[in-house]
Structure 1
Amino acid sequence: MVHFPNLVTSVTQTLSQTTRLRTLGMSAEIAARLRTMIEEGELPPGARIDERAFCETFDVSKTPLREALKVLVSEGLVLHRQYIGYRVAPLDLEELRATFETLHGLEALAGELAAQRLGAAAMAKLERRHQAMIDAHAAGRRTDYFRINQEIHQLIIDGAANPVLAGVYATLMSKVHRARGAANADTIRWQESHEEHEAIMAALREPGRPRLAQVLRAHSENTAREVLSVVAQTLAEAGATGAIGATLKKSA
Structure 2
Amino acid sequence: MTLINTPATVTLPLQKSLKLRTLGMAAEITTRLRVMIEEGELPPGERIDEKALCEMFDVSKTPLREALKTLVSEGLVLHRQYIGYRVAPLDLDELRATFEILHGLERMAGELASQRLTDSALAAIEKKHEQMLDAHGKGLRTEYFRINQQIHQMIVDGAGNPVLSSLYATLMSKVHRARGAANADLSRWQESHEEHDRIMAALREPGRPQLGEVLKAHSENTGTEVLSVVAEAIRLGEPHRRGHEIGAS
TM-score normalised to structure 1 length: 0.90
Q: Which residue of 2 aligns with 1:160?
A: 159
Cα distance between partner residues in 2 of 1:21 and 1:32 = 17
CA deviations 1:136-155 (Å, max 9, x no partner) are 00000111111100110010
SS at match of 1:49: coil
Aligned residues: 233
Q: How many angstroms does 1:14 deviate by? A: 2.0
Cα distance between partner residues in 2 of 1:19 and 1:80 = 26
- Sequence identity (%): 72
AA partner of residue 23 (structure 1):
T
CA deviations 1:133-187 (Å, max 9, x no partner) are 0000000011111110011001001100101111211121111110011111111
Would the aligned equivalents of 1:114 and 1:157 in 2 still touch at CA under 8 Å?
A: yes
Q: Which residue of 1 aligns with 2:216?
A: 217
AA partner of residue 229 (structure 1):
S
Would the aligned equivalents of 1:79 and 1:89 in 2 still touch at CA under 8 Å?
A: yes
Give ranges in structure 1 of 5+ residues lacking alignment: 1-9, 244-252
Cα distance between partner residues in 2 of 1:207 and 1:26 = 51
Q: Which residue of 2 aligns with 1:91?
A: 90
CA deviations 1:192-247 (Å, max 9, x no partner) are 0011000000000000000000100000000000000010011111377499xxxx
TM-score normalised to structure 2 length: 0.91
Greater relative contact order (Cα 8 A, min sep 6): structure 1 or 2?
1
CA deviations 1:101-150 (Å, max 9, x no partner) are 01000000000000000000000000000000000000001111111001
Cα distance between partner residues in 1 of 2:213 and 2:172 = 19
- Which 10-residue stretch deviates more, 231-240 or 119-128? 231-240
Cα distance between partner residues in 2 of 1:32 and 1:166 = 23
Would the aligned equivalents of 1:110 and 1:213 in 2 still touch at CA under 8 Å?
A: yes
Following TM superposition, the consecutive aligned residue runs of length 4 or more in structure 1 with deviations greater than 6 angstroms are: none
Cα distance between partner residues in 1 of 2:19 and 2:171 = 35
Cα distance between partner residues in 2 of 1:232 and 1:95 = 12
SS at match of 1:48: coil
Q: Which residue of 1 aligns with 2:62?
A: 63
Cα distance between partner residues in 1 of 2:13 and 2:43 = 41
SS at match of 1:190: helix
Q: Which residue of 1 aligns with 2:41?
A: 42
Cα distance between partner residues in 1 of 2:168 and 2:126 = 22
Q: Which residue of 2 aligns with 1:4?
A: none
SS at match of 2:13: helix
Would the aligned equivalents of 1:106 and 1:169 in 2 still touch at CA under 8 Å?
A: yes
SS at match of 2:17: helix
Q: Which residue of 2 aligns with 1:231?
A: 230
Q: Which residue of 1 aligns with 2:130?
A: 131
AA partner of residue 183 (structure 1):
A
Aligned-residue CA RMSD in angstroms?
Answer: 1.5
AA partner of residue 123 (structure 1):
L
SS at match of 1:115: helix
AA partner of residue 171 (structure 1):
T
Cα distance between partner residues in 2 of 1:56 and 1:122 = 44
AA partner of residue 220 (structure 2):
E
Taking the TM superposition and a 5 Å limit, the aligned residue runs for 1:68-217 are 68-217=67-216
